[in-house]
Amino acid sequence: MIIRDKYLRILNNNVDTHFIKVLTGIRRVGKSTLMWQFFDSLKNRDANFIEFDFNDIRIVKEYDWEKLTNEIEKRADLNKINYVFLDEIQEIKDFEKCVITLFEHKTLKFDIYITGSNSHMFSSELITLFTGRVKEIITFPFSFKEINQNFLPKENSLNENFKRYIMLGGLGIILNTYNNKDECYDIIETVYNSILKKDLINRHKIKHLNNIEKISKFIFNHIGKNLSINNIENFLISNKEIKINNKTLLNYLKYLEEVYLITKVNFYDTVGKKILLTKAKYYAADLGILSVNTKTDISYNYGYRLENLVLLKLLEEKWKVYTGHDRYNNEIDFIIIKFDIQKYIQVCDELNDENYKRETRSMLNIKNGFEKIILCNHTSIVSKNDGIKIINILQWLNDEVTL
């Protein structure tokens, strides 16, 4: 079992604060394990502990939100702080009413921790009550560093292990079978199908599973590509995949984002300095999910897989991430912003004299003082003295260097 210190630190920093702590992320990424690790770390406190695991269908059937609220109140201690842990709480209909009742309780003190696999966990009529009261902690797949140190053969080269990781990804459920590729793919496919049926079809009452499957597969086969709603719709219709209108397509894409299957990266206009909403790029929330929806061949879309991996680490590091282009429409892979810091990033597998101009052209065309970086796996170039910083992607993934 991997102890995810960075997430435990965030949780520990928020103990006894007046926030509802919400661990979110794709199903089977390891949210439950993380929450119970944190639960165990608090056990030496003089406090009362109340926990429910709604992964157990028997418990889900036993409670509605009112019964759950009453049961928690019954178990609470008037003279102590009550730490409440609710795992996969979205399985309880109208669970928000239970959470807000406990949070605003007049006589009992609750510190509430919940996990869920849907970013749109709170219903629209209650969301205003939670504004400023929720500390969301998005749980990302296990990183290459975590898996390489704990689950991949030490006798392998770093690049060998990296090739396995970039195909299998980092869902927590596959860690103990990580050296059996076929078994990992079977497990990942089961998780993917469960997300579609349980979190999408059932929750949103979608009648045609085939439609959302085809949209999902289209996105996975076009990760890192510039997409608009119109060109997605036109492709699906012209190829006789499905017949769909703009509104339904927008809803389906939103649903796929909500369950953390895909991540949308908006365009940032480097000239007008504004976010453009008419087009975007999409990436997978996990590289293993990407593999079971495309081809389990490392040469297929390898460059975009690298981009996808870079994006996930940037998001985990709390950067706001956009994509863009220069005034001549030369693409910039990522524009990242944190407070008043802004950086431009290009991603490639190999950087050499032949492709250097192409990889740096867009960044050199932007005349400002922000840092410009190339993340690459292989290069013979040290520096061209043009202000572009070259960073080895594996060293960055292993936290040996920073951006």
State the SS3 of 113-180. EEEECCCCCCCHHHHHHHCCCEEEEECCCCCHHHHHHHCCCCCCCHHHHHHHHHHHCCCHHHHHHCCC
- Which range among 93-102, 187-196, 228-237, 351-360 shows the weakest confidence by mean pLDDT? 228-237
Mean pLDDT of 270-282: 85
Amino acid, res. 146: E
d(CA 335, CA 324): 7
Task: Name the nearest CA neighbour of 350 among 325, 371, 381.
Answer: 381
The 10s digit of each residue's pLDDT in 281-334 is 999 999 999 999 997 677 778 999 999 999 999 999 999 999 999 999 999 999
d(CA 394, CA 178): 19
Using alpha carbons, list the distances in angstroms from residue 318 to 58, 96, 114, 139, 195: 37, 27, 21, 12, 25
Structure tokens at 99: 């959470």
| Three-state secondary-structure class, residue 341 | strand
Residue 50, beta-bridge partner list: 84
Q: Residue 36: is it exposed, middle or buried by C-beta count within 10 angstroms (0-12/13-18/19+)? A: middle
For residue 10, give the H/E element and its range.
helix 5-13
Question: Does residue 192 carry a pLDDT above 60?
Answer: yes
Phi, psi for 335 (deg, rounded to 5) = -115, 120
Task: Name the nearest CA neighbour of 141 among 38, 254, 260, 55.
Answer: 260
In the prediction, which pLDDT does 126 show?
57
If you count them, how many residues does the chain have?
403
Rounded to the nearest integer, the mean pLDDT of the chain is 92
Phi, psi for 15 (deg, rounded to 5) = -65, 135
Q: Residue 365: is it exposed, middle or buried by C-beta count within 10 angstroms (0-12/13-18/19+)? A: middle
Amino acid, res. 67: K
The 10s digit of each residue's pLDDT in 215-266 is 999 999 999 999 999 989 888 888 777 888 889 999 999 999 999 999 999 9
Structure tokens at 61: 């059937």
Instruction: For residue 26, count other CB atoms closer than 10 A to its CB.
Output: 27
The 10s digit of each residue's pLDDT in 329-383 is 999 999 999 999 999 999 999 999 999 999 999 999 998 889 999 999 999 887 7
Amino acid, res. 326: D
